[in-house]
Amino acid sequence: MPRGLIPLYGEKNRLSPAEVVVTAYTEQKSSVADAVIRLANEIGNKVIVGRQTGDGDLFQWSKGGVCIQIMDPNRPPFPIVETLPHTWSKTGKTLFDEEPDDATLEKYAEEGKVLGTLMWHSGEMAHNEAMINLFEVVQFSGIKMGMGVHAARYETGSCNWID
């Protein structure tokens, strides 16, 4: 494996209904959750990359001082993350080309128009596929919105769906 990365997978350890306090999804953890903490400590890297079987893994890892960058849908995360660059589509426009200037915004305000914008944030790679739906809304409706994302989306995300 590149850079000593170790892929691990384990089925969820199921809880009986009597053992569940809040929800099974947040309380069940995978059979390898504790091994992940041990291995992360052994190699000195407290940031793991991959997927979890449920939120119980996230809570368990957090208790052990380990966090995760959820990497999906570009499966498997190694070695794709380092070897396959994905490029954004080139449109020839900047994101400011169709924005109104300050004078136009002031005119809108004087006319009593409510000035606002839709802003979305997606904090993990696993949400890439869901964000595609927002871009389809933009394409069909022409509505303006912004999207804040993390660097990993640009570095590893297959983004040729943006025109």
What are the structural domain ranges in the chain?
2-70, 84-163
β strands within 7-157, DSSP E: 47-50, 67-70, 118-122, 145-149
pTM for the predicted model, two decimal places: 0.47
Written as tens digits, the pLDDT of the chain (163 aa) is 456 666 677 778 888 889 888 887 888 888 899 999 999 999 888 888 777 778 889 999 999 999 888 775 555 555 555 555 545 445 666 656 777 888 998 999 999 998 887 777 776 666 766 777 777 878 877 777 777 776 666 665 555 444 4
- Nearest CA to 159 out of 73, 77, 69 is that of 73
Distances, alpha carbon 23 to alpha carbons 52, 60, 63, 100, 127, in Å: 16, 15, 18, 47, 22
Peptide bond into 76 cis (omega under 30): yes
Give the integer Cα–Cα distance in Å for 161 and 41. 39
Q: Which class for 93: exposed (0-12), middle (13-18), buried (19 or more C-beta within 10 A)?
A: exposed
- Nearest CA to 124 out of 53, 57, 74, 80 is that of 74
CB atoms near residue 37 (< 10 Å): 19
